[in-house]
Amino acid sequence: MTKVQIVVTVRKGTLDPEARTIRRALIKSGADIDDLKVGKWFEVEFPNLNKEEALKEAEKIAKNVLSNPVVHQCIIKEN
């Protein structure tokens, strides 16, 4: 069994109103921050795949289902 983490965020350079709103709120609360990114985190278990196969499969589902490549980018890594 291999566990893989997938994080989907808005593509660099693309407007992300949610991140902008949260960033503004954090600054108002007194946090000293610069850039902020928001993403959706997935942990997927592949019962019958080794690490290499699982990462390949994760990339496939990340691109086809979990994100819209027009506007999103994905970070994929073994858990």
Partner 1 sequence: MKVGVVVFPGSNCDRDAYRFMSDLGFSTQWLWHGDTSLKNVDLVFLPGGFSYGDYLRSGAIAKFSPIMEEIKEHADKGGTVVGICNGFQILIESGLLPGAMRTNEKSSFICDWSKLVKIECIDGPWNGPKNGESLNIPIAHMEGNWYGDEKLLQQIQENKQIIYKYEENMNGSVDNIAGLLNKKGNVLGMMPHPERASSALLGSSDGIKVFENLTSNLKN
Residues that bind partner 1 (CB under 8 A): 10, 14-18, 20-21, 40, 65-66, 68, 70-72
Name the minimum Å distance from CB 3 to partner 1: 20
- The residue among 27 and 50 lying less far from partner 1, judged by its C-beta, is 27
- The residue among 17 and 47 lying less far from partner 1, judged by its C-beta, is 17
| 72-78 and 2-10 strand pairing | antiparallel
Structure token digits, residue 58: 């994760």
Q: Count H helices, E strands: the chain?
A: 2, 3
Structure token digits, residue 63: 């691109």
Name the minimum Å distance from CB 70 to partner 1: 4
